[in-house]
């Protein structure tokens, strides 16, 4: 579809393959910038060592000089960003492992001890104890 405005002919969005390629390239760059911006803002608010005043300065510059500030932040504080993300991931994994251990039940040694107490009390036979012991050790 062609448009004519003041003697200039426009082909529209689907007019040229290269126009479409350029549009997708700019869309990719914009989305990449948004990901970086949200990562920077998230890192700013998760950093406990940075004071509130410095956080406000970074936010101010991110608003008024966004691309330059994002590049400076990633260069100046990028290593710290990675370290904080690794620490948060390790903390999350430790909490998840503790939860799994608490939900999963007892250790094999505890299961054998419980089976032994049942055997001693006469609730189960020796064959049942051996079955429970083999199950706990497997």
24 and 61 in a common domain: yes
Question: Using 50, 70 and 90 to split pLDDT, how confident is the model at 2?
Answer: low
For residue 132, give its domain range. 106-138
- The helix/strand/coil state of 1 is coil
What's the whole-number average pLDDT of the chain? 87
Question: Using 50, 70 and 90 to split pLDDT, how confident is the model at 6?
Answer: low
Q: Tell me how far apart the terminal alpha carbons of the chain are, to the nearest angstrom.
A: 71
88 and 20 in a common domain: yes
Calculate ∠ Cα 107-108-113, nearest 5°.
100
61 and 30 in a common domain: yes
- How many other C-beta atoms lie within 10 A of the C-beta of residue 80? 13
Q: Which DSSP string corresponds to 74-97?
A: HHHHHHHHHHHHHHHHHHHHHHHH
Tokens, residue 137: 């050790």
pLDDT at 10 over 90: no
93 and 51 in a common domain: yes
Tokens 């100046």 belong to residue? 76
21 and 9 in a common domain: yes
Which residue from 6, 5, 76, 67 is spatially nearest to 37, judged by alpha carbons?
Answer: 67
38 and 28 in a common domain: yes
CA 80 to CA 68: how far, in whole Å?
A: 19
């Amino acid at each position: 579809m062609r448009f004519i405005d003041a003697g200039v002919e426009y082909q529209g969005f689907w007019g040229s393959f290269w126009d479409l390629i350029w549009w997708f390239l700019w869309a990719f760059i914009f989305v990449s910038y948004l990901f970086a911006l949200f990562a920077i803002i998230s890192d700013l608010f998760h950093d406990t060592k940075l004071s509130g005043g410095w956080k406000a300065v970074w936010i101010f510059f991110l608003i008024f000089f966004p691309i330059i500030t994002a590049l400076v932040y990633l260069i100046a504080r990028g290593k710290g960003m990675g370290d904080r993300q690794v620490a948060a991931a390790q903390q999350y994994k430790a909490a998840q492992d503790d939860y799994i251990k608490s939900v999963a039940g007892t250790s094999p040694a505890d299961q054998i001890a419980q089976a032994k107490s049942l055997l001693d009390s006469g609730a189960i036979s020796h064959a049942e104890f051996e079955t429970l012991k083999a199950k706990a050790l497997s």
